[in-house]
Each structure stands twice: as structure tokens, then as C-alpha cells.
Amino acid sequence: MLTDGVITLAVMTAGDAAALVAGEDDAIVRRLAGGPATPVSAERHIRERAEDWRGDWYRGGTKLAWGVRDVATGALAGTAEVQLVQPELPAGAANLSYSVFPPWRGRGFGSRAVALMCAFLAARTTATLAVLRIDADNAASLRVAERSGFRPAQELAGPRASMRWFAHDLRTRPAPGLQSRMFCPTCGLDMYWVVADDDPVGGWWQCDDAHRWRRAFGGFAPLDP
Ligand SMILES: CC(C)(COP(=O)(O)OP(=O)(O)OC[C@H]1O[C@@H](n2cnc3c(N)ncnc32)[C@H](O)[C@@H]1OP(=O)(O)O)[C@@H](O)C(=O)NCCC(=O)NCCS
């Protein structure tokens, strides 16, 4: 989980499926989802994304996704997602996407989600560039790119690209005040390092629900698969 004190980005669980369906509007369907969600498709999406967190983060097609939550109420307010490997992007560039459900728009949640994703990428991955690709008529998202300090980067897009591209160098320091901690990819709870002298690597990461993990290339692998 990542937080700036106003929103959290936390891995979604099956219990989020109904809120995911209810939060979707035409804009989200048109810009991101490609088709309206159903309870079944939402649950499948959440399950597949949870599997992506447990696998190799750099495998093509892997999407690292979070639910965006309002800290004050705990409500699911949107979604955020990064792709570390995207065929249309140069090596080292990560693609970011986001949605905020209608009741929560205009409060800065979209921009906050982008800042947290950038902090995550800088702290936990080898990505050096964050990229946003936005439809030219998506005024709210263009404003998010601007507010988040992204620069226009049309030079990265092919000559036939119809979307507007923006980029942010992740090697610059993330915004102050952001917290990044280790959270269980399965349940989202805090993880801590368990010291075990008789273990070949000296221990493992564990959450309060007793899910146990080893660091693997680009992420965590379950200790008890
Ligand atoms: C894009 C989206 C995530 C923005 O979420 P948000 O939480 O409202 O974003 P923020 O509050 O951080 O910023 C929104 C900015 O856009 C502005 N804005 C919102 N609607 C606008 C519009 N129709 N025209 C111009 N500006 C608009 C807001 O005023 C705000 O700017 P400000 O802070 O200068 O006032 C949300 O509108 C959404 O989910 N859209 C559908 C899915 C989508 O397009 N995702 C992005 C794909 S690239």
C-alpha cells in the first residue's frame, strides 16, 4: 500500500468488485475499460491483477494495479495501474493509467494517484521514465498531467500516434511527504522481515495474515506456494 495521508493505493480484493462496477461511468468505460464491467468481470480483473503482483513484474502484459481509496472514509474512489513493459514504450519507460469515480472527481485524487505511482516506480522498480498517454479531448486527464509536472513528450510517440504523450523523469526525487512501505501483495497488510537464522537467506517477509514472501526479480514470490 502507498499513501500520502489523503488517499491510499492498495491492492484490490474480491470484496472491491461491487464498488468497482458501481464506480464506473461512461468516461471510464470509453477511456480505459473498453466495455462495461459486470460483477463477474470485475472479480476476474481483481483476481488477475493480484496474480500479476505475485508474478514477475517485468513480464509482458503484467499490470500492477491498485484501488484508490479515500483515507477519510475508506471508500474505493478509483483505480491506478502501471505497466513496466509496454511494447509501444521505450525500455525503462512505465505506462501509468488511472480513473477516479465521479463522486470523487475534482478533489486532486487523480493527481495524487499519479504522484504515488511515480514514488512507487522510483522506489521499487528500475523504471526511469513515467509516461501518460491521453486522448486529446480528455481535458481532465490533460490537466492531471500538467498538475503532476509531466512534460509533453510527443517525440516518444510514433508518427501515427493519435494520443498526447507526457513524460516524467523518475530519477528526480519524488515529492516530499510520500510514504512507501512494504505491503503484502495478497491482502495489502503491512509486511515485516522475519529473521530466521536457519534459513538460507536469513528470513522472509511476512504480513499479519501470515502470508510469507521472498523478494523475487522485480517483486515478491510466495514462500508457501
Ligand atoms: C481523469 C480523471 C482520473 C481525473 O480525476 P480527478 O481526481 O478529478 O483529477 P484531479 O482532481 O487531480 O484533477 C482534475 C483537474 O481537471 C480539471 N477538470 C476536470 N474536468 C474538466 C473538464 N471537463 N475540462 C477541463 N478541466 C477539467 C479539474 O478542474 C482539475 O484541475 P484543477 O485542479 O486545476 O481545478 C477522472 O476525470 C476520470 O476518471 N476520468 C475518466 C477516466 C480517464 O479519463 N482516465 C485517464 C485516462 S488517460
DSSP string covering the chain? -EE-SSEEEE---GGGHHHHHHH--HHHIIIIISS---HHHHHHHHHHHHHHHHS-TTSTT--EEEEEEETTT--EEEEEEEES--TTS-TTEEEEEEEE-GGGTTSSHHHHHHHHHHHHHHHHS---EEEEEE-TT-HHHHHHHHHTTPEE-GGGS-TT--SEEEEEETTSPPPTT-EE--B-TTT--BEEEEE-TTSTTSEEEEETT--EEEEETTEEEES--
Digit-coded pLDDT (tens) for 53-65: 989 999 999 999 9
Q: In this predicted model, which residue has the larger pLDDT, 11 or 196?
A: 11
What distance in Å separates the CA atoms of residue 59 and residue 218, rounded to the nearest whole number?
10
Which atom of ligand 1 is closest in space to residue 142's alpha carbon?
Answer: 16
User: Domain ranges in the chain?
Assistant: 2-180, 182-225
Digit-coded pLDDT (tens) for 121-180: 987 888 999 999 999 999 999 999 999 999 999 999 987 888 999 999 988 754 444 445
Which atom of ligand 1 is closest in space to residue 78's alpha carbon?
Answer: 39
Q: Is domain 2-180 classified as CATH 3.40.630.30?
A: yes
Q: How far is the CA of 219 from the centre of ligand 1 (A)?
A: 31
The chain-wide mean pLDDT, for the chain, equals: 89
Q: Calculate what percentage of the chain has a pLDDT beyond 70.
A: 95
Question: Is 148's C-beta closer than 6 angstroms to any atom of ligand 1?
Answer: no
